[in-house]
């Protein structure tokens, strides 16, 4: 009997999420309303640290809004990693700014602070570190570089819920903004959605104004309360980036289940770590493995489990992934680095030798399924299939 295909990713949607969406549909409030507001409050309380949370319809929107609110514009340079999804870099182009791509630290797969330092020019305005796979970047080094050069820091935390850096929750550090994704495959899923966490109320306010067409609600609430409820003022050519209450309903339940879902992913990662220890693969870096600068007790969000095949492995990347598919297991690659993507490669004349660590990792990488809906038997199938291909 052949078992059904095990997909690479699946959202963990249970009856509580379904009930919450149905209630929202029955409430008559489909778009942004009381549900989105509650989701923001609960998300901010979850992070702690007196932050504000601004709900948006994607992390891409959130990154765009954060950079816009921080004043990034034409000609400015924004340093980010080549080893990421294109959204981390494209938002700078939305604003007429230039992303400057740098290599990763092969020990963490996150942006290399030394490479960031080398890329700083007189035009550099911001750094966008990406917490690859759910392991936080070396935020001490990044914030130190930013402080010394007067740069803004916007964390791409699309993988990093929940994660910590030296015991502190990602989102509550001294960055200017931290942006989360609630895309269908992420660790908290609303289909499409995102959140911007910010400390400066003026930045939060600009994000809220630009999130919805440049409508300045505070301006007329605070100063023109003699105006009727139907009156509104447009103060900028804003965007349409608001999160619906339907998505927020999913998000609020998922946030309550975040710990439980994370525990499951962490348990799967531990099983993989044990099972693959003797195979010709490099395991994903994790706090406590002696190779990363993190505190041993730091939380890894475990969004991705990306192995790197060693040179002596019996199969290469393409054969490994197709072999896994043949065994009924979906795998993926995170990422085809930006320096290989036609747009980025051609615009900035990028070549693989400029990013040796990302290039080397990319050529050997495979992401295995890791999500809370996987059963113990599913995990066993992945281990068995990988073991067969890697000569266990
Ligand atoms: C998913 C992802 C994004 C974009 O998130 P959306 O919510 O789909 O816009 C940005 N950066 C990284 C690293 C991601 O993985």
pLDDT in tens, 232-273: 899 999 999 999 999 999 999 999 999 999 999 999 999 999
Q: Is 84 in the pocket of ligand 1 (CB under 6 A)?
A: yes
Q: By CB neighbour count within 10 A (0-12 exposed, 13-18 middle, 19+ buried), where does 351 fall?
A: exposed
Q: Which atom of ligand 1 is nearest to the CA of 156?
A: 11
Question: Which of 81-85, 224-228, 375-379 has the lowest average pLDDT?
Answer: 224-228
Please check whether residue 2 lies inside any domain of the structure: no
Same domain, 48 and 174: yes
User: Could you tell me the CA-to-CA distances from 27 to 18, 35, 37, 61, 381 in Å, in that order?
Assistant: 14, 10, 15, 27, 43
Same domain, 230 and 240: yes
Q: Which atom of ligand 1 is nearest to the CA of 60?
A: 9
Whole-angstrom distance, CA of residue 273 vs CA of residue 163 = 19
Whole-number average pLDDT of the chain: 96
CATH number at residue 218: 3.40.640.10
Yes or no: say if 142 and 153 are a contact pair by the CB < 8 Å rule.
yes
pLDDT grade for 227, boundaries at 50, 70 and 90: confident
Tokens (6 digits) for 363: 């050529």
Express each pLDDT in 149-180 by its tens digit.
999 999 999 999 999 999 999 999 999 999 99
Same domain, 36 and 156: yes
Q: What pLDDT does residue 42 have?
A: 98
Q: Is 241 in the pocket of ligand 1 (CB under 6 A)?
A: no
Yes or no: say if 227 and 220 are a contact pair by the CB < 8 Å rule.
yes
Tokens (6 digits) for 87: 């959204």
Mean pLDDT of the region 113-129: 98
Q: What pLDDT does residue 225 have?
A: 66
Tokens (6 digits) for 202: 């003026």
Q: What pLDDT does residue 270 have?
A: 98
Tokens (6 digits) for 57: 């319809």
Q: Is 158 in the pocket of ligand 1 (CB under 6 A)?
A: yes
Q: What pLDDT does residue 392 have?
A: 72
Mean pLDDT of the region 361-387: 98
Same domain, 221 and 89: yes
Same domain, 129 and 189: yes
- C-alpha atoms less than 13 angstroms from C-alpha of 355 in its C-beta half-sphere: 31
Q: Which atom of ligand 1 is nearest to the CA of 303?
A: 15
Q: Which of 190, 224, 256 is the last residue of a domain?
A: 256
Q: Is pLDDT above 60 for 1?
A: no
Q: Is pLDDT above 70 for 218?
A: no
pLDDT grade for 370, boundaries at 50, 70 and 90: very high
Please check whether residue 3 lies inside any domain of the structure: no
pLDDT grade for 346, boundaries at 50, 70 and 90: very high
Express each pLDDT in 198-215 by its tens digit.
999 999 999 999 999 999
Please check whether residue 282 lies inside any domain of the structure: yes
Q: Is 155 in the pocket of ligand 1 (CB under 6 A)?
A: no
Yes or no: say if 134 and 258 are a contact pair by the CB < 8 Å rule.
no
Q: Is pLDDT above 70 for 356?
A: yes
CATH number at residue 339: 3.90.1150.10
Dihedral (Cα; 205, 210, 216, 219), 10-degree rounding = 30
Q: What pLDDT does residue 228 have?
A: 83
Q: Is pLDDT above 90 for 220?
A: no
Q: Which residue lies with its CA nearest to atom 10 of ligand 1?
A: 87
Q: What kind and span of H or E run contains 305? A: strand 305-309
Q: What kind and span of H or E run contains 367? A: strand 365-368
The DSSP letter of residue 338 is G
Same domain, 50 and 179: yes
Please check whether residue 224 lies inside any domain of the structure: yes
Please check whether residue 6 lies inside any domain of the structure: no
State the pTM of this model. 0.97
Q: Which of 256, 275, 302 is the last residue of a domain?
A: 256
Q: What pLDDT does residue 222 have?
A: 55
Tokens (6 digits) for 281: 């693969």
Same domain, 176 and 230: yes
* Active-site residue, from 152, 186, 227, 240: 186
Please check whether residue 140 lies inside any domain of the structure: yes
Same domain, 241 and 343: no
Q: By CB neighbour count within 10 A (0-12 exposed, 13-18 middle, 19+ buried), where does 185 fall?
A: middle
DSSP H helices, the chain, are 15-27, 34-47, 59-69, 87-94, 113-119, 139-149, 201-211, 217-223, 245-256, 258-276, 317-326, 342-348, 356-364, 376-389
Same domain, 86 and 183: yes
Mean pLDDT of the region 34-44: 97
Q: Is pLDDT above 80 for 330?
A: yes
Which of residues 226 and 195 earns the better pLDDT score? 195
Q: What pLDDT does residue 164 have?
A: 98
Whole-angstrom distance, CA of residue 68 vs CA of residue 301 = 28
Q: Is pLDDT above 80 for 219?
A: no
Same domain, 267 and 370: yes
Q: Which domain holds residue 26?
A: 15-256
Q: Which atom of ligand 1 is nearest to the CA of 62?
A: 9
Q: Which of 206, 230, 256 is the last residue of a domain?
A: 256
Please check whether residue 179 lies inside any domain of the structure: yes
DSSP H helices, 171-238, are 201-211, 217-223
Express each pLDDT in 71-81 by its tens digit.
999 999 999 99
Q: Is 190 in the pocket of ligand 1 (CB under 6 A)?
A: no
Give distance in angstroms: CA of 44 to centre of ligand 1: 20
Mean pLDDT of the region 123-135: 98
Give distance in angstroms: CA of 376 to centre of ligand 1: 28
Give distance in angstroms: CA of 251 to centre of ligand 1: 16
Q: What kind and span of H or E run contains 195? A: strand 194-198
Same domain, 24 and 92: yes
Whole-angstrom distance, CA of residue 212 vs CA of residue 236 = 10
Yes or no: say if 146 and 170 are a contact pair by the CB < 8 Å rule.
no
Give distance in angstroms: CA of 181 to centre of ligand 1: 6
Whole-angstrom distance, CA of residue 118 vs CA of residue 113 = 9
Count of structural domains within the chain? 2
Please check whether residue 8 lies inside any domain of the structure: no
Q: Is 132 in the pocket of ligand 1 (CB under 6 A)?
A: no
- The percentage of the chain sitting over the pLDDT mark of 70, rounded to a whole number, equals 98
Same domain, 266 and 228: no
Express each pLDDT in 47-61 by its tens digit.
998 999 999 999 999
Cis peptide before 162 (omega within 30 of 0): yes
227 catalytically annotated: no
Whole-angstrom distance, CA of residue 95 vs CA of residue 124 = 14
Give distance in angstroms: CA of 271 to centre of ligand 1: 27
């Amino acid at each position: 009997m052949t078992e059904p295909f095990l997909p690479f990713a699946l959202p963990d949607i249970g009856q509580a999420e379904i009930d919450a969406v149905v209630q929202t549909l029955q409430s008559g409030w489909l778009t942004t309303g009381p549900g989105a507001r509650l989701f923001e409050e609960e998300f901010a309380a979850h992070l702690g640290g007196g932050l504000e949370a601004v709900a948006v319809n994607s992390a891409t929107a959130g990154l765009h809004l954060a950079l816009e609110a921080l004043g990034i514009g034409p000609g400015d340079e924004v340093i980010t990693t080549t080893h990421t999804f294109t959204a981390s870099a494209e938002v700078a182009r939305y604003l007429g700014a230039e992303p400057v791509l740098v290599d990763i630290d092969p020990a963490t797969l996150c942006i290399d602070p030394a490479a960031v330092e080398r890329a700083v020019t007189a035009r550099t305005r911001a750094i966008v570190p990406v917490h690859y796979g759910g392991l936080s970047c070396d935020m001490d080094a990044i914030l130190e570089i930013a402080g010394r050069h007067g740069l803004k820091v916007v964390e791409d935390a699309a993988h990093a819920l929940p994660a910590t850096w030296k015991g502190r929750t990602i989102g509550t550090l001294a960055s200017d903004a931290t942006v989360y994704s609630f895309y269908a495959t992420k660790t908290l899923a609303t289909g499409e959605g995102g959140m911007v966490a910010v400390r400066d109320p003026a930045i939060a306010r600009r994000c809220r104004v630009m999130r919805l067409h440049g409508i300045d609600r505070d301006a007329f609430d605070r100063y023109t309360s003699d105006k009727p409820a139907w009156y509104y003022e447009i103060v900028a050519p804003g965007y349409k980036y608001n999160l619906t209450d339907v998505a927020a309903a999913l998000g609020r339940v998922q946030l309550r289940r975040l710990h439980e879902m994370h525990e499951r992913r962490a348990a799967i990662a531990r099983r993989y770590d044990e099972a693959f220890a003797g195979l010709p693969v490099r395991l994903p870096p994790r706090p406590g493995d002696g190779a990363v600068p993190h505190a041993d007790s730091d939380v890894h969000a475990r969004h991705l489990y990306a192995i790197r095949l060693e040179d002596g492995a019996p199969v290469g990347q393409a054969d490994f992934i197709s072999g896994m598919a043949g065994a009924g297991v979906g795998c993926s690659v995170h990422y085809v680095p930006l320096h290989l993507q036609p747009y980025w490669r051609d615009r900035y004349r990028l070549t693989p030798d400029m990013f040796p660590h990302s290039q080397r990792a990319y050529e050997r990488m495979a992401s295995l399924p890791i999500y809370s809906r996987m059963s113990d038997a599913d995990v066993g199938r992945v281990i068995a299939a990988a073991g067969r291909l890697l000569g266990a």
